[in-house]
Amino acid sequence: MSFENHCWADVVPQDMMDLYSVYERETFVGPKPALVCIDLYNIVYRGGPEMPLDIQDEHPNTCGIYAHRAIEPTKQIISAARRAGIPIFYCTQDFRPMNRPKGVGSTKRKNVTWTKEDFDIYPEFTPEDGDIVLYKQRASVFQGTPIVSHLNFLGVQSLIMLGESTSGCVRASAVDAYSNGFHVSIAEEATFDRHELTHKVNLFDLHHKYVDVMHVEEIVDHLDTHFPAK
Amino acid sequence: MTEKGWDQFLTDRDKRVFASAGFGATAGYGERPALLVIDVNYAFTGEKREPILESIRQWPNSCGEEGWDAVAVIGDLVSACRGKGVPVIYTTGVVRNDGWDMASWSWKNTRTAESSTGADPRLSNRDGNEIVDEIAPGPQDIVVYKQKPSGFFGTPLQSYLQLLRCDSVLVVGTTTSGCVRATVIDAFSQNYRVTVVEEGCFDRSQASHAINLCDMHAKYADVRSVGEVKEHIDGLEPGMFSLPAGQVGMS
């Protein structure tokens, strides 16, 4: 695929685009991919498809409308990955008892008292037999988890990532994947944050420096073409 | 298990336990190996072949003559891998001139200050971390600089293996009980298939060498003879890997 300026085109000024034009290149889904679904847990969908600012007092950490807009595209990719038979990873908060000292978390957000159910995977995407769920304490799925050993065991060479938040756990995980030598494609419409600006600028950064941001449709087509149903 | 070099160090009960508890099965080779040459530098060999008790006067980490025996074996394996375009990755130590970052090493050894310069720096121009000339890295080889036992700890080794799409490692070097073992266990933990070449590994302690090979073979790796491993390398398809082009220095 040729290099494309995605959702950020309306917020990134021309001089910044020009400055980053040196990163332009072909984009693609790499060989032997796995799907990694970052933090598709209940709390980010709470309060329904509203603006996060209007509902976050009652539903802390919600991504509101942005989470709900991503539901259909996310289902499309997960379905395509199942048809293709590629490995599917999920990650969510480590909620096992007595798992960490006070103050350890994915962000510096003020403390909220959570329950385990808050961090269960949203029912639309419930993991199935054969999927792999990883529990993490920090932003990146590579930090303090066995993901690299699982990917090596499966012979995975590339990742397709989606989920939230673009500026937090998706970005941290994508950069660590890149640093570990994996080619990464991010599914644009299935990735979201609490505010459009931070979503767009973070995707801009990731796309230019570390990953290939691609449309859900391109990724689904790739999987359907390269992994025809048996 | 068939008769192995470490058998003389095991009690009869040990032999019966290993035989009946299922350890020591053959993990097998992968399809895309890299050769890892762990810390075969002058600090661990001394500058010349000498009996170990003489060699350690100047180089406290030296493993003496066993090191030089292994260097010849490693040289053969390095050539075989280069001939097939199989990645050859060396590790060696790196330390500040003032030694501050020796840190935990200095807690357990009273001569760490001498480890990279030699006991009397006037007697040698060698940096102890320099890989021995007989197996000096070639232009398409890769050198990983480390500070702790495992080649994976605080280094880009994992990312290089990923970029090269390796699924397995062949391990030689020193010390069998220290950096070889630590690297083997981390490779195992990352789900690489691990082969340790018996004659390509060395240690300052004969007993530690034998028992660490025994442990690794029981649990983490296949310990094999150089002949077997060379035969395996010879059977690999040439040119499978996208190796460095061979430029000197960093871009």
- Among partner residues B159, B165, B189, which is closest to A179 by beta-carbon distance? B159
Helix, strand or coil, per DSSP, at residue A189: strand
| Per-residue pLDDT at B151 | 98
Tell me: the pLDDT tens digits for B184-232? 999 999 999 999 999 999 999 999 999 999 999 999 999 999 999 999 9
- Quote ipTM for the complex: 0.83
Residues contacting residue A91 through CB under 8 Å, at least 6 positions apart? A36, A37, A38, A39, A133, A134, A135, A136, A141, A145, A169, A173
User: Residue B183 pLDDT more than 90?
Assistant: yes
Tell me: the pLDDT tens digits for B61-71? 999 999 999 99
Mean pLDDT of A119-137: 97
User: Residue A230 pLDDT more than 70?
Assistant: no
Half-sphere exposure of B30 (CA within 13 A, CB side): 24
Fold of B27-234: Rossmann fold (3.40.50)
- Among partner residues A148, A150, A155, which is closest to B158 by beta-carbon distance? A148
- Partner A, chain B 179-198, Cβ-Cβ below 8 Å: 189-192
Give yes or no for B158 touching A (CB within 8 A): yes
Domains and CATH numbers, chain A: 7-226 (3.40.50.850)
Q: Nearest-5° angle of CA A79, CA A81, CA A85?
A: 115
CA-based R_g, chain A, Å: 17
B-chain residues near A152 (CB < 8 A): 162, 167, 190-192
Q: Which amino acid belongs to residue B110?
A: T
Which residue in this structure is represented by tokens 């199989």? Answer: B86
- Partner B, chain A 91-150, Cβ-Cβ below 8 Å: 148-150
Percent of chain B with pLDDT over 90: 90
CB atoms inside a 10 Å sphere around CB A101: 6
- A224/B87 Cα distance (integer angstroms): 34
pLDDT band at B250; cut points 50, 70, 90: very low
pLDDT band at B251; cut points 50, 70, 90: very low
What distance in Å separates residue B153's CA from the closest CA in chain A?
Answer: 13
A-chain residues near B189 (CB < 8 A): 149
| Per-residue pLDDT at B80 | 98
CB atoms inside a 10 Å sphere around CB B250: 4
* Domain residue ranges of chain B, discontinuous segments joined by +: 27-234
Instruction: Supply the pTM of this predicted model.
Output: 0.89
Extended strands (E) in chain B:
33-38, 88-93, 142-146, 168-174, 193-202, 222-224
- Among partner residues A148, A153, A157, which is closest to B165 by beta-carbon distance? A157
| Per-residue pLDDT at B1 | 44
- B160/A179 Cα distance (integer angstroms): 10
Nearest residue of A to residue B161, measured between CA atoms: A181
B-chain residues near A143 (CB < 8 A): none
Give yes or no for B165 touching A (CB within 8 A): yes
Q: Do A155 and B167 touch (CB under 8 A)?
A: yes
Substitution target from A152, A156, A157, A159 for chain B, most B beta carbons within 10 A:
A152
| Per-residue pLDDT at B2 | 56
Tell me: the pLDDT tens digits for B49-103? 999 999 999 999 999 999 999 999 999 999 999 999 999 999 999 999 888 999 9
Cβ-based contacts under 8 A for chains A and B: 27
- Among partner residues A150, A153, A180, which is closest to B162 by beta-carbon distance? A180
Q: Which residues pair with A187 in a beta bridge?
A: A214
Q: Which helix (H) or strand (E) holds B106?
A: helix B104-108
Residues contacting residue B204 through CB under 8 Å, at least 6 positions apart? B52, B56, B61, B62, B63, B64, B175
| Per-residue pLDDT at A158 | 98
Mean pLDDT of A22-35: 97
pLDDT band at A101; cut points 50, 70, 90: confident
Q: Do A157 and B162 touch (CB under 8 A)?
A: yes
Q: Which residues pair with A37 in a beta bridge?
A: A90, A162
| Per-residue pLDDT at B97 | 87
Residues contacting residue A129 through CB under 8 Å, at least 6 positions apart? none
Residue of B73 and A103 predicted with greater confidence = B73
User: Residue A225 pLDDT more than 50?
Assistant: yes
pLDDT band at A96; cut points 50, 70, 90: confident
| Per-residue pLDDT at B248 | 56
| Per-residue pLDDT at B247 | 63
A-chain residues near B160 (CB < 8 A): 181
Percent of chain A with pLDDT over 90: 89
Q: Nearest-5° angle of CA B159, CA A155, CA A82?
A: 125
Q: Do A182 and B190 touch (CB under 8 A)?
A: no
CB atoms inside a 10 Å sphere around CB A100: 12
> Of the given ranges (A107-121, A164-178, B83-97, B231-245), which has the lowest mean pLDDT?
A107-121
